[in-house]
Structure 1
Amino acid sequence: MGTVTTTGAYGPWGIVAGGSDGVGVAFAHGMAARGINVVLVARRVPVLESAAAEIRARHGVEVRTVALDLGAPDALAELAGATAELEIGLFVYNAGADVRSVAFLDRDLDTHLSLVQRNCAAVLEAAHRFGAPMVARGRGGLVLVTSGAAWAGGATLATYGATKAFDLILAESLWAEWRGSGVDVLGLVLGRTDTPSHRRLLDAEGTASAGGQVYEGLADPTDIAEEALAHLADGPTWIHGSENPTGGSPFGALNRRDSVLAMSRGAAGSS
């Protein structure tokens, strides 16, 4: 099982959507360490350029940056245009975190729709625009980063969980379609992870460790990226931190109602 990510296996260039910090930049470092040139995509230009400079200095690969809001309807068309001359062999879609869990009606409709655009429509468009050339070439890799919120519905997780379930099913379906084509597809399921956005959430809610100590119980982004890159060929699904990472829902034999109630308790306990 598993594969070593190389330019021979996937191609000379990779894209990380949501690649300026956290899990995204960890993927970019992992790809660059394996000799893959990287395109970093994110909204915040200073953070994006800082990440790019560090990757160039550490790994000696080419790094390009594309400043985009992936929630904009034309974002993926713009990204495709900006990278048209590159052979993109590996695409990691990592954008779409929800930094605050709130009741469905306590968030305005435009915010919900923006999350659906970023986590569903843009992901689908990325898979279609960048996956088609991979399938035609007979090599490539696609990683869709999803969440444990995809396993069942839960209070305060309505739109976020629904979008992440979309990503999970999309990844598994594309794996089933492309598994004989030379293109690896992985739906990467994450739990609570030590990212800047998650730390900001914990700090805002007063639940972080006092005095800037280690944020206990949060997965390390580098560990996540390295594990995913090592197991890109072991799709359709990889559950980071699970004793059975290729297994099913952690809710196991629970019926749907009890799973939803358990997810709701978990959301309440983490907020």
Structure 2
Amino acid sequence: MDVTGSTALITGASGGIGAGIATALAARGADVVLVARRADELEALAAGIRARSGRRALVVPLDLSTPDAGARVQEALGGRSVDVLVNNAGFGLSGRLADTPDLSRLGAMVTLNCTTLTDLTARFLPAMLERGSGAVVNIASMAAYLPAPGFAAYAASKAFVLSLTEALWAETRGTGVRVAALSPTVTETGFFDVAGQAAGAGLRRRSVEQVVATFFDTLDADRPVVVDGRRNEVLAATSRLVPRTPFLRVLGPRFADRVSTPAAH
């Protein structure tokens, strides 16, 4: 997909995968709208993008875990159209659900990972369909493919993203609009600073650069889901064949014990 001259909106753009995707889109000729909570980091990223690529970079500092976040993003754009929407913002909480110390934080996670993503898609997709062009890429996760005791609500939220995106892919077939989910695995970002380092202990991590390369594959592929990394593609396909109940009985308690300490941000 040629993004030259397009406008791309990236949520969770202040660091990690979001910042990497925003920088790469600008390098390929897109103007970018950067949305996240941390204004100073967004401004620094925007300045770097403008200096290196000469593209426009609009900063929208906003907490996307609030119920009215989608409307506030749309208002901040002042009627500007969005050609590429990247719903990247999200976070995870580890630990047994019954031991969650801060239920408001749990609610914020579900709002951000599910509600705001859906709201933003519903706001910007209609104009893309009218134009007969555009793309929506929702960042899911390998956690979406199986229930994850000790990480239950986060994995469920990403399963929601995966299911929603697959259905939207079917709804938009033949319209000229690309809708897909990108499922990364453990990546070298600040994610586990929030979720808890135990949740990612012992797992092989991918680089942001690798995920960004897969993002552009996602824009070009006519598939509802693209998984980052060949090994992970196999794991995702295999997960569809795993009987849930035996898996949960045998491995579930081990997962729950490993990430038994909830993390706060």
TM-score, with normalisation over the residues of structure 2?
A: 0.88
- Structure 1 residues 221-236: aligned runs within 5 Å: 221-234=208-221, 235-236=223-224
Give the superposition deviation at 1:248: 4.9
Aligned to 1:211: none
Task: Note closer, same or farther for the CA distance 1:132–1:247 as it changes in structure 2 (3 Å cut).
Answer: farther
Give the superposition deviation at 1:218: 1.2
Aligned to 2:11: 17
Task: Note closer, same or farther for the CA distance 1:255–1:246 as it changes in structure 2 (3 Å cut).
Answer: closer
- Distance in 2 (CA, whole Å) between partners of 1:82 and 1:207 is 36
Aligned to 1:103: 96
Q: Deviations over 1:219-260 (max 9, x none)?
A: 111221122113324220011113474995432422011343
- Structure 1 residues 107-146: aligned runs within 5 Å: 107=100, 108-146=102-140
Aligned to 1:258: 246
Aligned to 1:177: 171
Q: Is the 8 A contact 1:237 1:246 kept in 2?
A: no
Q: Which runs of 5+ in 1 are unaligned?
A: 209-214
- Structure 1 residues 22-101: aligned runs within 5 Å: 22-98=16-92, 100-101=93-94
- Distance in 1 (CA, whole Å) between partners of 2:148 and 2:63 is 27
Q: Is the 8 A contact 2:178 2:219 kept in 1?
A: yes
Q: Is the 8 A contact 1:142 1:184 kept in 2?
A: yes
Query: Which residue identity does 2:68 align to in structure 1?
Result: D
Q: Which runs of 4 or more aligned residues in structure 1 lie more than 6 Å from their structure 2 counterparts after TM superposition?
A: none
Q: Is the 8 A contact 1:239 1:246 kept in 2?
A: no
Aligned to 1:212: none
Q: Is the 8 A contact 2:94 2:259 kept in 1?
A: no
Identity %: 34
Q: Which runs of 5+ in 2 are unaligned?
A: 261-265
- Distance in 2 (CA, whole Å) between partners of 1:268 and 1:85 is 49
- Distance in 1 (CA, whole Å) between partners of 2:234 and 2:132 is 24
TM-score, with normalisation over the residues of structure 1?
A: 0.86
Q: Deviations over 1:82-112 (max 9, x none)?
A: 11332210010111121x4111012132222
Q: In structure 2, the residue corresponding to 1:231 is in which secondary structure?
A: helix
Task: Note closer, same or farther for the CA distance 1:246–1:128 as it changes in structure 2 (3 Å cut).
Answer: farther
Q: Deviations over 1:17-38 (max 9, x none)?
A: 0001000001101111110000
Q: In structure 1, the residue corresponding to 2:219 is in which secondary structure?
A: coil
Give the superposition deviation at 1:153: 1.3
- Distance in 2 (CA, whole Å) between partners of 1:181 and 1:73 is 30
Q: Is the 8 A contact 1:186 1:233 kept in 2?
A: no
Task: Note closer, same or farther for the CA distance 1:250–1:237 as it changes in structure 2 (3 Å cut).
Answer: same
Give the superposition deviation at 1:57: 1.4
Aligned to 2:263: none
